[in-house]
Each structure stands twice: as C-alpha cells, then as structure tokens.
C-alpha cells in the first residue's frame, strides 16, 4: 500500500510546528529500521492544496497541531475525516480557499483523481500557535516521542514491501 505521512504546520510558530517535528522523527526512525517504503513530507496547506499532495497514495497519515476548547496541551488525538467534518464543516463557501479536506477529497474523487481511501489523523493539542519560536512548549515537546511511537505502531500494521530483485 503506497503510504504518505504529512507533517502539517509552520515550524517557526511554536507548537504549530509539532506535526512537522513528528514527521521528521518518524522519518528518522523509519530510516534506522531500513524502511524506505513510506514517503514523508511536510506541508503548511489545507483543503485543495493538501488534497493535491495526496494524489496517487492509498493511505495518508496526517500529523498536526490542534486546539480544542478544553484540551490539555500535549494530548494526542486520533481523528478521522468524519471528525473533521463534524468539527468544521464547509458551510457557505464562496471560495475554494475555505474548503475543508473531506470536501476537497470528495471533489477530487468526483474528478477522477486517485486519492487515498485510508486517512489517519494524529492531532497534538497545542498551547501556543502564534509566537515565533522554533521550539514547542514543554507539554507539546514531550508529546512528540509518544506521537511518533503511535504512528510507527500504525505503520507496523502494514506489510513490509516485498524484496525486489
């Protein structure tokens, strides 16, 4: 299964960069294990632009920061596309720029694009996403290794690619 891991966020905005930091940690762990069958990327886009990155993959794992009303910084949430729709539905969109990811994926499928059927989302509760800083707050930084491990466990459930000769 062709798999893509995307770390989302801006790495110079404190906790907003946690998705990118986790993606780098996963990439390093995969390289140490000799696994080169997972594509790891970073992005700071959403909606249609994010959907375009996913074309050609059967499985996508997204890692991003999240802020919920009662969330505790550093908490790791495992979400689905349905969770995104219920939390932030696309309503009265006047422009493609405010289209959410599930809507963008549905549009892409209707246009005949090869898009993933499996999308996993790991969201880490952020404390500060507005201060310019290349390091995360303490609680969010402490969650990076746990999120990395959860993603590696999810990836381990995939069969390793067959050896090529």
Q: Are 74 and 125 in contact (CB under 8 A)?
A: yes
Check whether 164 has a pLDDT greater than 80: no
Rounded CA separation 27/84 (Å): 26
Domain boundaries, the chain: 3-156
For the chain, the straight-line distance linking the first and the last C-alpha, in angstroms and rounded, comes to 19
CATH code that applies to domain 3-156: 3.40.50.1450
3 state DSSP class of 43: strand
What does the DSSP 8-state code read for residue 94? S
Q: Which pair of tokens denotes residue 90?
A: 């696309």
Q: Which pair of tokens denotes residue 64?
A: 């991003």
pLDDT band at 90 (very low <50, low <70, confident <90, very high): very low
In tens, the pLDDT along 31-89 reads: 999 999 999 999 999 889 999 999 999 999 999 999 999 999 999 999 998 887 766 54
pTM score of the predicted model: 0.88
pLDDT at 165: 36
């Amino acid at each position: 299964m062709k798999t893509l891991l995307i770390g989302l966020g801006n790495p110079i905005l404190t906790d907003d960069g946690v998705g990118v930091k986790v993606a780098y940690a996963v990439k390093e762990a995969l390289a140490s294990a000799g696994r080169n069958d997972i594509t790891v990327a970073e992005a700071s886009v959403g909606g249609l632009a994010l959907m375009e990155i996913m074309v050609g993959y059967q499985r996508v794992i997204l890692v991003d920061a999240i802020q919920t009303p009662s969330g505790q910084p550093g908490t790791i949430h495992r979400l689905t596309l349905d969770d995104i729709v219920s939390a932030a539905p696309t309503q009265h969109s006047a422009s493609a720029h405010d289209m959410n990811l599930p809507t963008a994926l549905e549009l892409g499928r209707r246009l005949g694009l090869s898009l993933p059927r499996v999308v996993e989302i790991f969201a880490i509760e952020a404390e500060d996403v507005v201060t310019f800083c290349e390091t995360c707050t303490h609680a969010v930084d402490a969650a990076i290794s746990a999120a990395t491990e959860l993603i590696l466990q999810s990836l381990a459930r995939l069969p390793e690619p067959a050896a090529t000769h």
